[in-house]
Structure 1
Amino acid sequence: MDASIMPTIPATNTNLPTLMVTERCSVWLAEAG
């Protein structure tokens, strides 16, 4: 995952939002099997 998945890039540092998206996607993928 990277910041390209975000519909709009935040005006601040993209590190934390990218980590949040990655965490959410990793849980989603783990549940999918």
Structure 2
Amino acid sequence: MMMLFFTVAMVHIVALMSPGPDFFFVSQTAVSRSRK
């Protein structure tokens, strides 16, 4: 549960720093990593 929170937090921070296509790529990477 805590790991999921940190993952969402990191994605949110990256999205704030670099909005645009990068956000989609980062979100897809986070989802694919959480499935492993």
Q: What's the TM-score once normalised by structure 2's chain length?
A: 0.48
Q: What's the TM-score once normalised by structure 1's chain length?
A: 0.51
Corresponding position: 1:31 with 2:17: yes
Which contiguous aligned blocks of 4+ residues in structure 1 show a shift greater than 6 angstroms?
A: none
RMSD value, Cα: 0.7
| Percent identity between the two aligned chains | 0
Which structure has the highest helix share of the two?
2
Unaligned runs of 5+ in 1: 1-14
Aligned residue pairs, count = 19
Deviation at 1:26, TM superposition (A): 0.3
